[in-house]
Amino acid sequence: MKKVLIISSSYRTKGNSARLAEEFFRGAQEAGNEVEFLSLHDKDIAFCRGCLACQKTKRCVIPDDADSIREKMLHADVLAFATPVYYYGISGQLKTLLDRCNPLYSSNYQFREIYLLFTAAEEDEDVAKRVLDGFDGWVVCYEKARFNGYVFCGGVRGVGDIGGNKKLEEAYQMGRSI
C-alpha cells in the first residue's frame, strides 16, 4: 500500500481536470492505496519571495496554506497533480505551489512517483509537449523521484465537457496501476 496525494489546481470543483483527478483517485483507492485528494481552489498560497530561508529551516517563512500542503507532499509516496492548461502551461495556482515547495528540495522527501493529469481546450499534441516540458523542470529537481506518466485530454473547454471521454478511463487505469 502506498500513500498517494492528488493535488487538483482546478478552480472549478467539477472541472475537467478535477474529473481526471477523481478517476485517478478512484483507481488508486481501488488498488488498495491510502489516497488523499486536495484541491487548491480554496487555499491561500502566496508567491515565493526567493529568500531561501527554507533551505536552512525546511519551512517557508510565509504563513499560509502552502506549508501544510508541502508537509503532506513530503510524506507521500506518490504525487499526482491535476491542472487545466492556460496558455500552454500548468495553471498559475499549481505553479505557485510548486515554487513554494522549495523546502522539499533539501529534505528527505518520501515521494518516488509523480504523475500529471491535465486538460485543455486545444487538442493538438503540441499542447502536451509544451506542458510536459515546463513541468519537467520541477520534476528533475527531485533526483530520488521519477515522472511516471500523464493523461492529457484536449478538446474540453466547458465544465463537464470531459464526460464520457475515454481519457477518464485512462486516468482511472493509471491510478489503479499504482
97-153 pLDDT, tens digit each: 999 999 998 899 999 999 999 999 998 879 999 999 999 999 999 999 999 999 999
- Tens digits of residue pLDDT in 65-80: 999 999 999 999 999 9
Q: Answer left, alpha or beta for residue 153, where phi above 0 means left and psi between -120 and 50 means alpha.
A: beta
Domains and CATH numbers, the chain: 3-176 (3.40.50.360)
Residue type, 44: D
Predicted pLDDT at 14 = 84
Rounded to 10 degrees, the C-alpha dihedral 19/23/25/29 comes to 160
Cell of 164: 464520457
Residue 68: CB partners within 8 Å, gap ≥ 6? Answer: none
The confidence band for 64, taking pLDDT boundaries of 50, 70 and 90, is: very high
Rounded to 10 degrees, the C-alpha dihedral 59/47/151/18 comes to 100
Predicted pLDDT at 68 = 95
How far is Cα 154 from Cα 104, in angstroms, rounded to an integer? 31
How far is Cα 33 from Cα 85, in angstroms, rounded to an integer? 28
- Tens digits of residue pLDDT in 9-52: 998 878 999 999 999 999 999 999 999 999 999 999 999 999 99
pTM of the model: 0.96
Give the strand pairing for 113-120 and 146-154: parallel
Predicted pLDDT at 94 = 97
Cell of 35: 489516497
- Tens digits of residue pLDDT in 50-60: 999 998 888 89
